[in-house]
Amino acid sequence: MKIQALFYLFFLPIFAFAQNVHEPGDTPKEWSEPYTPFRIVGNIYYVGTADLACYLITTPKGNILINTGLSSSAEQIKRNVNTLGFKFNDIKILLTTQAHYDHMGAMAEIKKLTGAKMMVDEKDAAVMKDGGRSDYALGGKESSYAPVFADRLLKDGDHIRLGNTDITMLHHPGHTKGSCSFKLTTRDEKRSYVVLIANMPSIVTDKKFSEIPAYTEIEKDYASTFKSLKNQSFDIWLSSHASQFNLHDKHKPGNAYNPAAFIDRKGYDTVLAALEAAYNKKIGKQ
C-alpha cells in the first residue's frame, strides 16, 4: 500500500512529463527567425519571431503574453521582453489563439519560468494537455509540444482582467476546436483604439469535413467563426501569424511608434474573404 502510494506520488508525474515531444520539422525556417520587438499600440507590444506573432500586453499589475512560437523561441521572447524594458517574470497570464505547436511550443517552459497562469478556450484545454496528440488534423502518437495544463478555462465572451486591461475572448473554432481571438481597448497619449487579435480561420485538414469523426462540428464551427469575424468592429487588427496581417509591410524594424500603420479594415476583409472562399470550396458551395 505504502509502496503503491509512493509510486503514484513520485513516478506518475515523471511519466506524464517524459512522453516524447516531436515538433514537426517542416516548419519554414524564416518563421522563427529573430525579429526586433516594438510597441504596436498603447500597451500592446510585438515580442514574437519573424512570423510567429507573440503579444505582450503590459499593465501596472503585471503583464499578459499571447502565444509563444516554437519550443526554441523561449529565449528570443525573453530577450524581446527585456529589450523593451519589461521584466519576463512580470508575465502573470498566458494565452494562446490556438493550441498548435507553432504558437504553443515554448508555453510549458515559459509557464514554468514565470509561474504565470495559463488561460485557454475550454475547447482547446484537452489537446493542450496532451501536447497536440489529440488534434483532429495535426495529432498523432507523439506530442508536437510540451503539454500544458490550464489554470482557467474560457468561454466565448469571457473577460480576462489584469490591472487596467480587460480582454474579451471570442470563441472562433474550426482551425482547432478552441481557436479564439482577443479583443481589447487600449490607449496611448492621443486616443483609444479597439484592437482585435484575430485567429484567422484557415483550413488545416486535407480530408472532407464529413470524414473527421474526431470533430463532427467542424463545418458549422467554421461557419460561425466567419460570421463572428465579419461582424467585428475594431480600429486595429493583428493575428497569429505576422504574414496574415502583413506586418512586414506595415512596419520596418526601427520605425517610430505608428499605430496608424495597423489600421486596415480593407486588408482584414480581403484576407477573411479569401479564407471564406476556400471554406466554401471545401464544402462544395460557390
> What's the min distance (Å) between Cβ of 140 and Zn ion?
15
Q: How far is the CB of 175 from Zn ion (least distance, A)?
A: 6
- In 135-259 the beta strands, taken as DSSP E runs, fall at 152-154, 159-162, 165-171, 180-187, 192-198, 236-239
| Residue 143 vs residues 97, 99, 120, 129, 261: alpha-carbon distances, Å | 18, 12, 18, 10, 38
Shortest CB 259 distance to Zn ion, Å: 27
Residue 97 C-beta: closest distance to Zn ion, Å: 9
User: How many residues make contact with Zn ion (CB under 5 A)?
Assistant: 1
Residue nearer to Zn ion on the CB measure, 42 or 48: 48
Stretch that binds Zn ion, among 88-96, 99-107, 190-198, 205-213 (CB under 5 A): 99-107
Residue from the set 78, 100, 133, 172 that interacts with Zn ion by CB under 5 A: 100
Positions in 105-124 near Zn ion (CB under 5 A): none
Q: Of 100 and 177, which CB lies nearer to Zn ion in the complex structure?
A: 100
Residue 158 amino acid letter:
D
List the 38-41 sheet strands across, edge first: 38-41, 44-46, 55-59, 62-66, 91-95, 117-121, 152-154
Beta carbon of residue 90, minimum distance to Zn ion (angstroms, whole number): 28
- Name which of 22, 15, 16 is nearest 141 in CA terms: 22
Name the one range near Zn ion by CB under 5 A: 92-100, 190-198, 220-228, 229-237. 92-100
State which residue, 100 or 172, has the beta carbon closest to Zn ion. Answer: 100
Window of 20-28, 93-101, 220-228, 258-266 that interacts with Zn ion by CB under 5 A = 93-101
Stretch that binds Zn ion, among 98-106, 163-171, 186-194, 261-269 (CB under 5 A): 98-106
Question: From CA 55, how far away is CA 47, in angstroms rounded?
Answer: 6
To the nearest whole angstrom, how small is the minimum distance from the Cβ of residue 98 to Zn ion? 5
Q: Which residue is nearest to Zn ion (CB)?
A: 100
Yes or no: say if 205 and 137 are a contact pair by the CB < 8 Å rule: yes
| 37, amino acid identity | P
Closest CA to 172 of 86, 90, 98, 237: 98
CB burial of residue 69 (10 Å; 0-12, 13-18, 19+): buried
Candidates 132, 123, 56; CA nearest to 94 is 56
- Binding window for Zn ion (CB under 5 A); candidates: 78-86, 95-103, 189-197, 246-254: 95-103
**Positions in 217-236 near Zn ion (CB under 5 A):** none
Which is closer to Zn ion, CB of 78 or CB of 175?
175
**Cα separation, 102 vs 106, whole angstroms:** 9
The residues that touch Zn ion, with contacts defined as CB under 5 A, are 100
